Chains A and B, each alone.
Chain A
Amino acid sequence: MMPSILLQTIIVPALVALVILIFRFQLGKKSGWVAVLGLVYTTFLLLVALVEVYNGAPIKESYQLLKSPDISVTLMADGLSIAIALICNLLCLALGTYSIKYVAHRIEILYPETLGGRGEISYYSCFFYLFLFFPVGFMGVSFATDLVLMYFFLEILTLFLFFLMAYFGYYERVWVATMCLIWGVFSALMFLGGVVIIYSQVGSFQIDQIHMMAGEPLAFWAIALVLFGMFAKLAIVPLHVWMPWVHAEHPTCIAGLLAVYANIAAYIIVRMLVLPLWDDFQWFGPPIMIFAVITMIYGSLLTLAQTDMKRIPACSTISQSAYSMLGIGALTAASIEGGLFFFLSHIMGKTVFFSVCGMVVYITHTRNIRLLGGLATKMPLTAILFLCGGMMLAGIPPFSSFAAEVVMFAGIFERGDTLGLVVGIIGLLAILLTISYAVHFTRVIFFGPMPENIAKDDHIKDPPWTMTVPIILIIVVSGALGLYPTLVMELFEPVISAAVANM
């Protein structure tokens, strides 16, 4: 067992970011690999922690910042958080590797005047030291036991997202980045409002104290505020309008992490509202389910109508994150676990989907799918990866999203009421829309005859291995979890099933 394993996962990326920032001119283009190396290390740490948690009790680390007054930071990894942290970290690792080539390409397009000079290097390393704050934020949110700490990491994510977007995004990037920042901070403020209400009732920011306010009339308002904020983050209709913009105009190499950024709210809701305030949360179940179903259908329809390569996964995120909300709203142990598992599956699938879209844009330099077609001949691997991404979203076995869907919908039907029945069936039918757009876009982009300019272009071929290998890795992980979902479910079990059983 390594010391301070959880702290390391948060600090190491930040330190690596610092190293990259300081030695950027010495490192040059190698800074990407340095970042990846750091993430490999943290992934390793998390694996060690996973084994630890899997075998026994949760890991808890406490660091005293000040003796008097007693201010300390406590990090805790139980089954729920370690699973989420590990997957998030893995995605960061994969996308970090993916970015190495992509960012160079992005800088070529955005800042052609700097090419070959120090400017290029500093932009290049800039991406990576900003990027490394994603793992910091995700790990922080996952491991925080303290609401203020959680808020802090939420804001960290928002802030660095802004920079990545403003420097490396696509059209109208500053405007979109600003919008993203405003929405992010808005939802974080709502979160803060809820936190303050909770504090006023229990006198503590600790998550494990929240249950003390169960039954208070104010618990309702605390939940309502936090939910409102988190809905904005999850892009539940009608608070979704930012999502297509933000996700579409982001540099594709981090777009997958945006899905995590949005969807981690599901984790927060479970951790902070559902489990401690079980009885108070019951009231919110049905509205959440209804909103989630509306969002699922709305988002899928929206996706279906897109013609912009990058807006496809962007809009699909709207519908997909609603799935986890549907599971959580159903409020049974199975549905919550399934919802969270779907969250993990979705972020993996979305990373693949987004990244492959990015590959296509990277290779073909066009985002309009009307100009594409028949790419499977020239980019067979990409086509397969795209299809895999689609299948991962649609919940086709053997990918983990299928197992998640089964568990989740089993949980939804387990409610045993009419609402659960109706919502469950509509939800299942909504998956059809996901399947539809997955195969529809595969067909439009990769199948059919090739337009002439693509047929003639010799540069169109599968992207370099630094871009494909990480994506394959994610697909393999998703497949493995789909084949053996027990791993994740056993991790979730003591946190959720056991807790819910006691309610």
Chain B
Amino acid sequence: MLNTGFPVLSALILFPLVAAVVLFFLRGEQTIRVYTLVVSLIECILVLPLLGFDTTTAEFQFVERVAWIEAWNIYYYLGIDGISVLMILLTVLLFPICVLCSWKYIGKRVKEFHFCLLLMTTACIGIFSALDFILFYIFWEAMLIPMYLMIAVWGGPKRRYASLKFFIYTLTGSTLFLAAIVAFFINTGTFSIPELMEHRYTFQFQIWTFLAMALAFAIKVPMFPFHTWLPAAHVEAPTAGSVLLASILLKMGTYGFLRFSLPITPAASDFFAPLMITLGIISVIYGSFVALGQSDMKKLIAYSSVAHMGFVTLGIFVFVSRGMEGAIMHMVNHGIITGALFLMVGLIYERSHSREISENSGLSKHVPVYTSFLLLFTMAAFGFPGTNGFFSKLLVLLGVFEASYFLGVLFLFGLILGLAYLIRLMLNVGWGTPSKGAGWKDMNIREWIYLAPLGLLIIYLGVAPGRAMNFIGPSVENLLNNFEAERHLIIEPGLQPGPVIEQLIPGPILEQLQPGPSLEQLQPGPNIEDLRPGPILTSGYDSGCEIETGQKDEFAGPNLAKIQNNLLLKSKY
């Protein structure tokens, strides 16, 4: 519809950048704030054309491709598909909210702060729309600096420690990522992501590149052993920083998995899936436990992010369309919910100057509207039906159950733990032993303005998730189809795909599932076990497609009709 020649993505990326430059010529804190707000709102208007996203195709849309450094085959190459469009929308939506929530909170160096904000916006949108590796990497690194500054300059008492930690961690990851990029370039001679997806690589190469990229992403997510930078950064960061950190930055890790690991190194992803799933489930349970033990609200929410992002990781690495859709939706939903929760903490911090739960408890009497909002957001975080958190968690849960029942039960356990810490937060703050708070003002108009859209969005996405799901449907399907085709194909390290493999590459997957001779053909020979990469955690994990593995005879045999039916039902989505 609106796929006209207008370069929407470039506009979105460049406008904040230009605005940031203009910012330097402005004076007066209030002027700067209003100015940034206006800029952010204009950005919101600019993003509207993206709503014309074509939901029927998995192709990259709004593509812009301009040669940049031709010698190195580097292009200014932008484009979005279903996975990234939602993230961009989320980013743009959060931008004005960040401005509004910093209105009173940021008292010093206002200009610089807003400059950082604008830079962040540019970088984030760039990350989600870049289709060139180098471009992506530039945005990826560019995002670090304003974030680092936000923590280091406007942060809390231990800001130096926190910012450094944040920086070291993420930079370590970025370094490895860069290494992977270079390796790819050396192997293929191109930085274009779509082209890289087309290529096939040796198994060993995939393993190494996957590891290099995955570490970067795992740190960003953050996954279990690499998560400690997150609470530190969250606690010290100003509210806007926390919001951006939780809502956008963490998503970059999982986005990376979806954008790079799965399509480019499918065999390695398949190989490492048990590991990733293990780490994911550990993140969920471990994160929940640690969150339960926190007394600092911000830390609690930070650790809850660890757990929630564990859900997302799980959803991605079970390689089932439900799970993946759920994971993507949960990225968005978690962005909204956790962002909102950090805003709530910021709000109460402005009143009590403490983030301890014990010093902010029993508030329902004094600040009922605040409590209601907190309730809504925690309910959504927990996954109360009717809120957005429910739907995405349900989808992930479905996916996980489809993959393995053992995992599913662990997942349920994680959900119950999630209930525990969120209830602890909500009930203590809302209805606990009353602390101070008698004289506190309830929410003012500004706070209403930036919380209400989030609340509405939570309910909208909870009640009618379908519209948002439409965006991601084809992309996920495409991603999975390609992935399924390539995940087992590397038979020996170094062997290029030959005619035998061509034969095995399935077309549209449903056709392959039709009973009859083609199914026989698909049944793996006796040595499929040898061909598959060695299982690391097979006890807890089964790869998604049951027919191909041939392990579950009872499913493939007599109940074939039913499975077909199931698949048909699923594909109808």
Contacts and interface: CB of A to CB of B under 8 A. Distances in A.
Interface of A: 65-66, 68-69, 71, 148, 151-152, 155-156, 159, 166, 174, 177-178, 181-182, 185-186, 189-190, 192-193, 196-197, 199-204, 212, 216-218, 221
B412 A190 contact: yes
A440 B384 CA distance: 43
A152 B386 contact: yes
Given A182-B423, A196-B394, A203 B412 contact: no
Contacts of B566: 201-203
A197 B408 contact: yes
Given A68-B466, A71-B466, A203-B570, A193 B408 contact: yes
A122 B554 CA distance: 61
A325 B567 CA distance: 36
B423 A189 contact: no
B68 interface: no
A181 B426 CA distance: 12
A192 B466 contact: no
Interface in B556-573: 559, 562, 565-567, 569-570, 573
Nearest to A174: B431
B394 A192 contact: yes
Given A152-B386, A203-B566, A185 B408 contact: no
A174 B427 contact: yes
Contacts of B386: 152, 155-156
Contacts of B397: 192-193, 196
Contacts of B67: none
Nearest to B384: A155
13 contacts: A65-B463, A152-B386, A159-B384, A166-B431, A178-B423, A182-B419, A182-B423, A192-B394, A193-B412, A196-B394, A199-B398, A200-B398, A203-B569
A219 B559 CA distance: 14
Given A159-B379, A212-B562, A189 B408 contact: no
Given A148-B385, A189-B419, A217-B554, 10 more contacts: A69-B573, A181-B423, A182-B423, A185-B419, A192-B412, A200-B398, A203-B567, A204-B569, A212-B565, A221-B405
Nearest to A190: B412
Contacts of B513: none
Contact of A66 (B379, B423, B464, B562): B464
Nearest to A65: B464
What bracket does the count of chain B residues touching chain A fall in? 35 or more
B420 A182 contact: yes
A18 to B, nearest CB: 14
Contact of A197 (B384, B405, B432, B573): B405
B401 A186 contact: no
Contacts of B394: 148, 192, 196
Contacts of B554: 217
B416 interface: yes
B188 interface: no
B306 interface: no
B419 A186 contact: yes
A217 B552 CA distance: 12
Question: Top 8 nearest A-B pairs by Cβ distance?
Answer: A203-B569, A152-B385, A203-B566, A66-B466, A174-B431, A196-B401, A200-B401, A193-B412
Given A69-B469, A182-B423, A186-B416, A196 B398 contact: yes
